[in-house]
């Protein structure tokens, strides 16, 4: 079987199932595990990541309003690779090539591959996706041990946090303008022993007035900026520091503002989403949960300087 993955989380799932050798092409954002970097890249972004976050938001909004794609798809390379299975998504047109674009491209391929669309809204959906990918690869049994291990880690966090005090947490999927966390983020916060009253459970992220954040007065702020690594998230924290009355928020006063590698963890709906849960548990309740051994996954933001944890 020849597999092309247009989604970083799908690439991670294939490799976690122990069949990474079947991958013949991946998206430009597929960077884990490191060996996938050598595979042909099938996509590109039409919006420069070097733009400011406000400019990126404006460009994305304009493109979606005009019906323009945010990503390109290399159909010629896809044809040359002759996949028998294509893994992609139809959850969010901001995160990957749109489902319509993929479907139109697939219809032209001589190999007539099967297309598996992943659209998780929750942690349970992500675990189910692992089973779906394993089944599509012809090895449904390979999901059993992986999913059992992930469930065990999730249940351990839930059990340990069940009776803890729940600080108010605000996860920022974007800073300028502010967006709350989407899909599984509220669930992650609640499992980790926090309260998140600004986002909607299992629903997409949405723009949120800064006045609502001030009224909520979060005790912990976690930047999980979509598509951003840790260094970019730390730069976004500088913008956060200049938001009106930000310094008066409990999270600022108590030094509990954190940046994360959102691109690798919180935004990526693959096996490392459980790493994300463990990171969140530590950030909310460091007295209970030790820091996961994941260098570069998060940093405490110091507004005189940003130091990696």
The tens-digit pLDDT sequence of the chain (309 residues) is: 999 999 999 999 999 999 999 999 999 999 999 999 999 999 999 999 899 999 999 998 898 888 777 899 999 999 999 999 999 987 676 777 888 889 899 999 999 999 999 999 999 999 999 999 999 999 999 999 999 999 999 999 999 999 999 999 999 999 999 999 999 999 999 999 999 999 999 999 999 999 999 999 999 999 999 999 999 999 999 999 999 999 999 999 999 999 999 999 999 999 999 999 999 999 999 999 999 999 999 999 998 644 334
Instruction: Please state which architecture CATH assigns to domain 165-308.
Output: 3-Layer(aba) Sandwich (3.40)
Nearest-angstrom CA–CA distance, 95 and 74: 17
Just give the CATH number of 3-119.
Answer: 3.40.50.1980
Sign of the C-alpha dihedral computed for residues 81, 118, 203 and 171 taken in this order: negative
Q: What is the pLDDT of residue 305?
A: 45
Q: What is the pLDDT of residue 90?
A: 76
235 CB-contact burial (10 Å; exposed 0-12 / middle 13-18 / buried 19+): middle
- The helix or strand, by DSSP H or E, that contains position 264, with its residue range, turns out to be none
Nearest-angstrom CA–CA distance, 75 and 114: 16
Nearest-angstrom CA–CA distance, 31 and 152: 26
Nearest-angstrom CA–CA distance, 19 and 34: 15
Identical fold for domains 3-119 and 165-308, yes or no, is yes
pTM: 0.94
Q: How many CB atoms lie within 10 A of CB 238?
A: 12
SS3 273: helix
For the chain, domain boundaries:
3-119, 165-308
Cα angle: 24, vertex 17, 280; to 5 degrees? 110
Q: Two tokens at 150?
A: 């992930």
Q: Two tokens at 295?
A: 């260098």
SS3 46: coil
Q: Two tokens at 209?
A: 């007035």
Q: DSSP code of 39?
A: S
What Rg do the C-alpha atoms of the chain give, in angstroms? Answer: 19
């Amino acid at each position: 079987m020849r597999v092309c993955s247009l989604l970083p989380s799908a690439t991670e799932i294939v490799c976690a199932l122990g069949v990474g050798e079947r991958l013949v092409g991946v998206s430009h954002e597929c960077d884990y595990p490191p060996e996938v970097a050598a595979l042909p890249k099938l996509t590109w972004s039409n919006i420069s990541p070097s733009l400011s976050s406000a400019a990126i938001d404006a460009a994305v909004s304009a493109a979606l309003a005009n019906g323009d794609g945010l990503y390109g798809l290399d159909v010629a390379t896809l044809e040359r690779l002759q996949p028998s299975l294509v893994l992609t998504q139809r959850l969010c047109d901001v995160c990957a090539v749109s489902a319509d674009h993929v479907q139109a491209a697939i219809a032209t391929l001589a190999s007539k591959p099967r297309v598996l669309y992943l659209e998780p809204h929750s942690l349970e959906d992500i675990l189910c996706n692992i089973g779906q990918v394993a089944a599509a690869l012809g090895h449904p049994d390979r999901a059993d041990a992986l999913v059992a291990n992930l469930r065990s880690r999730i249940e351990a966090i839930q059990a340990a946090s069940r009776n803890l005090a729940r600080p108010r947490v605000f996860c920022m999927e974007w800073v300028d303008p502010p967006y709350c966390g989407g899909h599984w983020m509220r669930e992650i916060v609640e499992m980790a022993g926090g309260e998140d009253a600004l986002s909607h459970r299992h629903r997409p992220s949405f723009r949120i007035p800064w006045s609502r954040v001030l009224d909520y007065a979060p005790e912990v702020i976690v930047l999980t900026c979509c598509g951003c690594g840790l260094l970019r998230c730390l730069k976004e924290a500088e913008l956060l520091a200049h938001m009106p009355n930000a310094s008066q928020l409990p999270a600022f006063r108590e030094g509990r503002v954190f940046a994360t590698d959102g691109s690798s963890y919180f935004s990526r709906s693959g096996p490392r989403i459980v790493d994300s849960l463990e990171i969140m548990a530590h950030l909310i309740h460091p007295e209970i949960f030790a820091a996961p051994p994941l260098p570069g996954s998060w940093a405490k933001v110091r507004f005189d300087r940003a130091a990696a944890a």
